[in-house]
Amino acid sequence: MVVVTGQNKVSGKPDDAMSSSDAEDDFQEPATPTATQAGQSLPLLPQQFPEVIPLNVGGMYFTTRLSTLRRYEDTMLAAMFSGRHYIPTDAEGRYFIDRDGTYFGDILNFLRSGDLPSRERVRSVYKEAQYYSIGPLLDNLEDVQPLKGEKVRQAFLGLMPYYKEHLERIIEIAKLRAMQRKARFAKLKVCVFKEEMPITPYECPLFNSLRFERNDSESKLFEHHCEVDVSFGPWEAVADVYDLLHCIVTDLSERGITVDHQCIGL
């Protein structure tokens, strides 16, 4: 049995139509929603790019080769700089991408030479790789920490019945008790039950009880009652109770809740 204590941390007018319907099929509409730039209509011919590309990504400046941006043809960057779409430029002539550029250097380093970011930047670079649809970078990042460990964690939680529902119940109870006590923290009792034998079916524990049947020739009914707020388990996996507690603390922390826990009995 574990005591869990939580605390909250503080459209414009379209361009004139072309006379030939065939021409409309040859050229796609500009990717940017802006219909004009500097008072002039957007060019109808495919955009031409220099060999060296100056970039303005959310106010941060980068310079790279056109071939680098086109390295993987199925990516957003390759599509943007294929000539099929219009890319606006800033006052200095840099091609503008309306995206936070904090991790864009990591994207370029991978496209240039396959370099991966440092561990503390992996999660953020992964999100940028998802945005730019860079499949090879996503595959590489999923095989390094901390994302590799996250895959294992999610596989374990997939074996835990009603994990997300119980996590939400912890948050709900904690908020209610904190409001009632006019405090910034709340204490909850959580029961974690680990069962090695196959269990079927898993039945969602009602408040403070567990009830399930063993998968034997004779159905044996087991009931567990204790004065707790939420009950987790049982599950069939090598991972132990402390692995589950680590998952609970991690997921609550991502929700802005600080957690301390103490084992008060087995």
What's residue 111's pLDDT? 97
What's residue 19's pLDDT? 45
pLDDT tens track of the chain, all 266 residues? 445 555 555 444 444 444 444 444 444 444 444 444 444 455 555 788 999 999 999 999 999 999 999 999 999 999 999 999 999 999 999 999 999 999 999 999 999 999 999 989 999 999 999 999 999 999 999 888 877 777 777 777 877 778 888 899 999 999 999 999 888 888 888 888 766 544 444 445 454 444 445 555 544 444 556 678 888 877 776 667 888 888 888 889 888 888 888 877 66
User: In whole angstroms, how far apart are CA 222 and each of 2, 152, 250, 266?
Assistant: 21, 30, 31, 17
* Domains, in order of start, for the chain: 52-144 (3.30.710.10), 149-197+225-265 (no CATH)
What's residue 82's pLDDT? 93
What's residue 25's pLDDT? 46
- Annotate the chain with three-state secondary structure: CEEEEEEECCCCCCCCCCCCHHHHHHCCCCCCCCCEECCEECCCCCCCCCCEEEEEECCEEEEEEHHHHCCCCCCHHHHHCCCCCCCCECCCCCEEECCCCCCHHHHHHHHHHCCCCCHHHHHHHHHHHHHCCCHHHHHHHCCCCCHHHHHHHHHHHCCCCCHHHHHHHHHHHHHHHHHHHCCCEEEEEEEECCCCCCECCCCCCCCCEEEEEECCCCCCEEEEECCCCEEECCCCCCCCHHHHHHHHHHHHHHCCEEEEEEECCC
Give this prediction's pTM.
0.52
Please give the angle made by the CA atoms of 241, 242 and 245, to the nearest 5 degrees.
95
- State the sign of the Cα–Cα–Cα–Cα dihedral 210, 211, 212, 216: positive
Distance in angstroms (rounded) separating the CA atoms of residues 200 and 220: 11
